[in-house]
């Protein structure tokens, strides 16, 4: 069986190397971002358990906003890639300008939500009576983060534009520098060093804002100076002033139309954002419900959640590379090769996930103490690690299933499966086991692990059926 990209006959070793070469840069960038969150937790844990608990509750609201916004920028990346592949520097510049406009609009909506984070927390279904001090601290934390949202979304526009132009290395280098800036500013603003006043938890939020502003400024400067992008003068002059009428006559038809670019970005990105929000909202609800258990449970959950996020970075990178390889195979009509790539990628992900789970189960104290939490939060986090180990395995397999189906353009059924399982299994099981059994926070992780395992099994069963018709899917699109 010949390779669809002309690399010769099938070789497991060659395919593993291909996956590694595609996945390594993605992993490095993701790890850099995850390290910044870990640094924040490391310093805030030294302020106290209450501060770390409030940070965890605030982070739940922040993630709810971020999940819905990122797919818009992924759509921007797609259109940038098309313009760049066509050799149109002017098209890239116009699309990027639209991305900046979109970032400005989205940042206003996101900042509004963060400024009202306390109301969001209290309005969450099943939230109950949270500790007032914890909710107030989480709201103050989110209000400070709202100031940095415009910088974050401008950075997103530049980051995804550079990726669309196949220039991911500059953002990786800048992200490493931003991590250093974030760490220094955390130390200075949280504890009152380098002549600054000590701001505690809010110092972490201000440090994040400084890092985001630095990241955005450097990327904008790079794109303008070396991105070979022609940004049109006064782009707002070309905005279609008939857009209010267009909204009434058709969904997004002509909305802020400038050669149709922004309308197309929104048309592609908004459904993706809705899907992501639909899938992630139960996870956010679980974090909000956990506040009823107190600051110690929230702090422990935040530590374990961050460890899990780091652990699944490798599967994320592998399956993104696997998706690219499957898509190439299907596009070349080599469905048998696609099946082999999927099985190989699944084996790599499963082997890694088992190793990561063993680390969670055998060395929980070493991993948890990396963040230096106080004794109550440390002990509570250690108790969660065995269940989190099972979650890592199930989550890695679920990620592989999503990527495999996306590669054959099968997204509607996974969306339905994810929504049904998260709302019918994950959220109810986590709620019942957390608040109505002695298991507490462990019950929440058991419910999440159960949902992930059921979804992973459903997605891989779906792939076995969908991949046979992958060529039909491609022709139909």
Give the torsion sign (CA, 265, 266, 268, 274): positive
Q: Is residue 36 part of a domain?
A: no
> What does the alpha-carbon distance between residue 430 and residue 441 come to, in Å, rounded to a whole number?
9
Structural contact between residues 135 and 124, judged by C-beta atoms closer than 8 angstroms: no
Separation between Cα atoms, residue 370 and residue 165, nearest integer Å: 37
What domain range includes position 101? 45-279
> Which pLDDT score, from 0 to 100, does residue 406 have?
67
Q: How many structural domains does the chain have?
A: 2
Is residue 439 in a domain? yes
- In terms of domains, do 104 and 171 share one? yes
Q: Of the candidates 73, 54, 70, 99, which has an alpha carbon nearest to the alpha carbon of residue 377?
A: 54
Regarding whether 49 and 9 lie in a shared domain, the answer is no
* Residue 297: partners with Cβ closer than 8 Å, 6 or more residues away: 53, 290, 380, 440, 441
Examine the domain organization and report whether 268 and 400 are in the same domain: no
Helix axes 169-191, 201-226, angle to 10 degrees: 150
Residues 6+ apart with CB under 8 A from 326: 338, 341, 342, 403, 404, 407, 408
Give yes or no: residues 272 and 347 share one domain: no
Radius of gyration of the chain measured on its C-alpha atoms = 23
What's phi and psi for 45, nearest 5 deg?
A: -60, -25
State the pTM of this model: 0.73
How far CA 162 is from CA of 24, 89, 99, 104, 251, in Å, comes to: 17, 13, 12, 19, 29
CA-to-CA separations, 465 to 331, 350, 410, 471, in angstroms, rounded: 17, 21, 11, 13
Q: Please tell me whether residues 336 and 449 are part of one structural domain.
A: yes
Query: Would residue 39 count as lying in a domain?
Result: no
Instruction: Let me know if residue 189 belongs to a domain.
Output: yes
* In the block, residue with structure tokens 């949280």: 190
My answer on whether 182 and 272 are in the same domain is yes
pLDDT score at 239: 42
**Residue that the structure tokens 């190439």 belong to:** 328
Question: Based on the domain organization, do 374 and 406 belong to the same domain?
Answer: yes
288 within a domain of the structure (yes/no): no
- Do 257 and 299 reside in the same domain of the chain? no
287 located within any domain = no
> Does the residue 477 lie in any domain?
no
Rounded Cα gap, residues 355 and 376, in angstroms: 28
Say whether both 2 and 125 belong to one domain: no
96 with 9, same domain: the answer is: no
Query: Tokens 């509750």 correspond to what residue?
Result: 57
Pairwise CA distance, residues 129 & 120, whole Å: 13
Q: Is residue 384 part of a domain?
A: yes
Which residue, of 279, 313, 336, is where some domain finishes? 279
- SS3 of the chain: CECCCCCCECCHHHHHHHHHHHHHHHHHHHHHHHHHHHHHHHHHCCCCHHHHHHHHHHHHHHHHHHHHHHHHHHHHHHHHHHHHHCCCHHHHHHHHHHHHHHHHHHHHHHHHHHHCHHHHHHHCCCCCCCCHHHHHHHHHHHHHHHCCHHHHHHHHHHHHHHHHCCCCHHHHHHHHHHHHHHHHHHHHHHHCCCCCCCCCHHHHHHHHHHHHHHHHHHHHHHHHHHCCCCCCCCHHHHCCCCHHHHHHHCCCCCCCCCCCHHHHHHHHHHHHHHHHHHHHHHHHHHHHHHHHHCHHHHHHHHHHHHHHHHHCHHHHHHHHHHHHHHHHHHHCCCHHHHHHHHHHHHHHHHHHHHHHHHHHHHCHHHHHHHHCCCHHHHHHHHHHHHHHHHHHHHHHHHHHHHHHHHHCCCCHHHHHHHHHHHHHHHHHHHHHHHHCCCCCHHHHHHHHHHHHHHHHHHHHHHHHHHHHHHHHHHHHC
Domain boundary among 215, 246, 279: 279
Domain match, 451 and 330 both: yes
- Spell out the per-residue pLDDT of the chain, length 477, in tens: 555 555 556 667 677 777 777 667 767 777 887 888 889 999 998 898 889 989 988 988 888 787 778 777 877 777 777 677 666 566 677 778 878 888 888 899 899 999 999 988 888 776 666 678 888 999 999 999 999 999 999 998 888 888 777 677 787 788 888 989 999 999 999 999 999 999 999 999 999 999 999 999 998 888 877 655 655 554 444 444 444 444 344 433 434 444 456 676 777 667 666 667 777 778 788 888 888 888 899 889 989 988 998 998 888 888 777 766 666 666 566 667 777 777 788 888 889 999 999 999 999 999 998 888 888 889 999 999 999 999 999 999 988 887 777 666 676 778 788 888 988 999 999 999 999 999 999 999 999 999 999 999 998 888 777 655 544 344 334
- Asked whether 144 and 57 are in contact (CB, 8 A), the reply is no
Dihedral through CA 301, CA 304, CA 305, CA 309, nearest 10? 180
What is the residue whose two structure tokens read 């149709």?
260
């Amino acid at each position: 069986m010949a390779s669809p990209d002309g690399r010769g006959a099938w070789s497991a070793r060659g395919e593993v190397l291909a996956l590694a070469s595609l996945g390594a840069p993605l992993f490095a960038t993701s790890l850099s971002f995850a390290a910044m969150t870990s640094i924040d937790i490391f310093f805030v844990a030294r302020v106290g358990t209450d501060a770390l608990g409030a940070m965890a509750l605030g982070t739940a609201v922040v993630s709810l906003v971020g999940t819905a916004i990122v797919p818009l920028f992924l759509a921007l990346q797609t259109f940038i890639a098309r313009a760049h592949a066509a050799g149109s520097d002017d098209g890239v510049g116009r699309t990027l300008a639209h991305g900046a406009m979109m970032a400005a609009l989205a940042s206003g909506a996101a900042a509004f939500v963060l400024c009202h984070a306390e109301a969001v927390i209290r309005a969450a279904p099943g939230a109950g009576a949270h500790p007032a001090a914890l909710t107030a601290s989480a709201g103050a934390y989110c209000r400070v983060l709202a100031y940095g949202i415009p910088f974050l979304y401008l950075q997103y526009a530049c980051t995804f534009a550079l990726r669309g132009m196949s220039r991911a290395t500059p953002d990786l280098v800048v992200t490493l520098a931003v991590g250093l800036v974030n760490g220094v500013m955390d130390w200075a603003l949280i504890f009152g060093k380098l002549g600054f006043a000590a701001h505690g938890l809010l110092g972490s939020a201000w440090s994040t804002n400084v890092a985001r502003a630095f990241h955005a400024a450097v990327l904008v400067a790079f794109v303008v100076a070396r991105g070979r992008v022609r940004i049109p003068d006064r782009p707002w002059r070309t905005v279609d002033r008939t857009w209010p009428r267009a909204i009434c006559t058709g969904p997004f038809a002509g909305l802020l139309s400038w050669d149709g670019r922004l309308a197309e970005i929104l048309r592609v990105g908004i459904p993706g954002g809705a899907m992501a929000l639909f899938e992630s909202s139960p996870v956010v609800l679980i974090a909000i419900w956990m506040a009823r258990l107190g600051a110690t449970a929230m702090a422990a959950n935040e530590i374990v959640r961050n460890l899990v996020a780091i652990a699944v970075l490798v599967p994320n990178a592998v399956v993104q590379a696997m998706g690219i390889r499957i898509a190439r195979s299907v596009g070349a009509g080599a469905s048998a090769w696609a099946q082999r790539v999927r099985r190989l990628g699944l084996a790599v992900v499963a082997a890694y996930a088992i190793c990561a789970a063993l680390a969670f189960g055998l060395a929980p104290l070493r991993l948890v103490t990396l963040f230096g939490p106080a004794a109550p939060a440390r002990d509570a986090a250690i108790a969660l690690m065995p269940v989190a180990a099972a979650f890592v395995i199930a989550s890695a397999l679920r990620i592989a299933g999503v990527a495999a189906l996306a590669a054959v353009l099968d997204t509607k059924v996974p969306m339905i499966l994810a929504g049904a399982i998260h709302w019918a299994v994950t959220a109810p099981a986590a709620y019942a086991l957390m608040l109505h059994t002695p298991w507490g926070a462990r019950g929440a992780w058991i419910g999440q692990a159960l949902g992930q395992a059921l979804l992973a099994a459903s997605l891989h069963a779906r792939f076995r059926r969908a991949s046979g018709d992958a060529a039909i899917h491609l022709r139909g699109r």
